[in-house]
């Protein structure tokens, strides 16, 4: 196949840039599978004239061979949306080319190409200095851009609030909360602070305490020391696993109060994490037979309608300040929806706190 280039393909087309995974250890493995993409999208039209030896071929196949740096599915999307012209006319991918035509491809950004951009966001900042931020994340807010959530994430809000954080890997994020889990997170504002926080997570000295409302009545106290990995059949889920790829996962829990929802026993438990596996508390408690109220992924489907998210909140966060090395502890009030849920279950949370 021949090609006469009239305008060169730009060298600054976006591609994936994977951060150094050695920097983020297993303590924060729930964010190491994601790639950061270059912010912004700046691609000029790609113009070429077809040679005669492509006569009789389909347009989409010809283009796919000429500019292989783009996936065929992406090229087909551009063709379907009119961003590929043949002799100045938008054309269909199945059209037959004769040779000699001028083809212009106008590259269009995919959602992930603009994922790492600042966005105005009303962040609930519990603490902030030159080195770290502690944020009370609301339920419904995704922490890090990924498929299906390329904008409106906490990372986007951090980039707007403190633009210099763009120079820190993953905008300073060192651990995550699930979209529908509320509560405390720490974010590093410098590479030095991030390195120190990651080391604390690796050493399991960061204190993370969660409140969870579960179905049933577990023991007064317990430790769940069961490794976890991706579910073998459902890639969206995690599972307790003995596979070689499984990683250690340790959850301590304590029963705080018992209640009743619609005639069914529920229990408020405090959970402390030693490790930070994806969905760890949800998987561990469900494995014991005590799924979280509202958890549609790991809970019993006929009970999921009692709450519109998993009843889980990161209540307390303790760590050493990465600069001063002083011990710090933060605690937040119950999210209003969880507070209302406890009232419905007949649990007096204020009495527990006293």
Active site residue ranges:
178
Report which of 294, 238, 224, 240 is spatially closest to residue 266, judged by C-alpha positions: 294
CB 144 within 8 A of CB 116: no
Going by C-alpha positions, the residue among 116, 158, 2 that lies closest to residue 65 is 2
- What dihedral angle (degrees, nearest 10) is formed by the CA atoms of 150, 155, 157, 159? -110
**Helices 72-80 and 59-66: crossing angle, nearest 10°?**
130
Q: Helices (DSSP H) in 176-311: which residue ranges?
A: 191-202, 280-287
Listed in sequence order, the residues at least 6 apart from 21 whose beta carbon sits closer than 8 Å to its beta carbon are 32
Query: Among 53, 52, 46, which Cα is nearest to 70's?
Result: 46
3-state SS assignment for residue 126:
strand
Residues 6+ apart with CB under 8 A from 347: 257, 258, 259, 266, 268
CB 238 within 8 A of CB 283: yes
What are the CA-CA distances from residue 173 to residues 102, 119, 341 (Å)? 47, 16, 30
| H helix or E strand, kind and range, residue 186 | strand 182-188
CA 200 to chain centre: 21
Long-range Cβ pairs for the range 70-75 (8 Å, 24+): 70/107, 74/110, 75/105
């Amino acid at each position: 196949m021949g090609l006469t280039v009239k305008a060169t393909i730009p060298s600054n087309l976006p591609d994936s840039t994977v951060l150094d995974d050695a920097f983020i250890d297993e303590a924060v493995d729930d964010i190491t599978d994601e790639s950061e993409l270059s912010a912004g999208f700046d691609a000029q039209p790609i113009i070429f004239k077809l040679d005669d030896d492509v006569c009789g071929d389909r347009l989409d196949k010809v283009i796919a061979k000429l500019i292989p740096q783009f996936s065929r599915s992406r090229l087909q999307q551009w063709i379907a949306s009119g961003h590929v012209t043949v002799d100045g006319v938008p054309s269909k991918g199945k059209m037959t080319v004769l040779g000699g035509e001028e083809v212009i491809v106008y590259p269009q950004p995919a959602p992930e190409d603009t994922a790492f951009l600042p966005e105005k966001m009303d962040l609930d900042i519990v603490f902030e200095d030159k080195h770290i931020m502690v944020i009370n994340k609301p339920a419904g807010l995704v922490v890090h851009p990924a498929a299906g959530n390329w904008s409106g994430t906490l990372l986007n809000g951090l980039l707007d609030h403190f633009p210099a954080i763009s120079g820190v890997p993953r905008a300073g994020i060192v651990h995550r909360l699930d979209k529908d889990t509320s509560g405390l997170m720490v974010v590093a504002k410098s590479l030095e602070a991030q390195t120190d926080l990651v080391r604390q997570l690796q050493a399991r000295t960061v204190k993370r305490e969660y409140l969870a409302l579960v179905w049933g009545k577990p023991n007064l106290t317990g430790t769940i020391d069961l490794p976890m990995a991706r579910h073998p059949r459902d890639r969206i889920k995690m599972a307790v696993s003995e596979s070689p790829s499984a990683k250690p996962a340790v959850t301590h829990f304590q029963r705080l109060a018992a209640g009743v929802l619609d005639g069914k026993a529920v229990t408020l438990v405090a959970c402390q994490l030693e490790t930070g596996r994806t969905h760890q508390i949800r998987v561990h408690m469900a494995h014991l037979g005590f799924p979280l109220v509202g958890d549609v992924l790991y809970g019993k489907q006929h009970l999921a309608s009692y709450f519109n998210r998993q009843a889980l909140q990161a209540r307390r966060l303790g760590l050493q300040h990465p600069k001063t090395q002083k011990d710090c502890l933060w605690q937040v009030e119950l999210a209003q929806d969880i507070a209302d849920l406890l009232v419905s279950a007949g649990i007096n949370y204020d009495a527990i706190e006293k």
